[in-house]
Amino acid sequence: MMFQIGDKVVYPNQGVGVIENISTRSFGAAFERFYLLRFGCSVTVLVPLSNAANIGLRRVTKDREISRILSYLSTGWAPVQSDWKVRFKENTDKMQSGDLLKAAEVFKALLQIHTEKPLSFREKKMLERARHMLVSEISIARGVAEVHAVAMMQRALDKAGLILPAVA
């Protein structure tokens, strides 16, 4: 999948970035093309074009998929792995996949645990990252401000009896 300068793309486990430049760099006799992604105001990442698919770089989710994500967040409680180490490994794999539904699964499962007991530092960070990924992608896919994306998520979570935590 090829992207153009200005395209908004999702970098797994990081969120939505904008392709700011496409450049070529030489490594001896070999040349490699790179996407330069910008996240927010200051963070940039170089992604080799040849490795973009393996990394999981993808276009922003369509509105139809956002509806499915919100529906998932609104329905009941999800099964949660009780062993912390196994759960953390599974959640890390889901977040690194770049799949927004898997990020929603991580988010919902960690919210459920959070209602029963405090999360560990690492799980709090993962919850924040999953929340950020969901909010930013919902915001861009629906063309609304992030505060409206947060409100959409909260309405969905209300139906499942979950409360969206404040950002730390």
Q: What is the pLDDT of residues 95-145, one digit of tens each?
A: 988 899 999 999 999 999 998 889 999 999 999 999 999 999 999 999 999
Please give the DSSP secondary-structure letter assigned to residue 29: T
**DSSP H or E stretch at residue 100:** helix 100-116
Say yes or no to pLDDT of 22 above 90. yes
Please indicate whether residue 65 or residue 81 has the higher confidence score (pLDDT): 65
The pLDDT value recorded for residue 13 is 77
Q: For each of the domains in the chain, give its residue range(s) and CATH number, in order of start.
A: 8-59 (2.40.10.170), 63-160 (1.20.58.1290)
Between CA 161 and CA 34 the distance in angstroms is 44
DSSP code string of the chain: ----TT-EEEETTTEEEEEEEEEEEEETTEEEEEEEEEETTTEEEEEEGGGHHHHT-EEPPPHHHHHHHHHHHHSS-----SSHHHHHHHHHHHHHH--HHHHHHHHHHHHHHHHHSPPPHHHHHHHHHHHHHHHHHHHHHHT--HHHHHHHHHHHHHHHT--PPPP-
Is the model's pLDDT at 77 over the cut of 90? Answer: no
| Distance (Å, whole) CA 36 – CA 45 | 6
| Residue whose token pair is 């915001």 | 139
Give me the pLDDT at residue 25, please.
Answer: 86
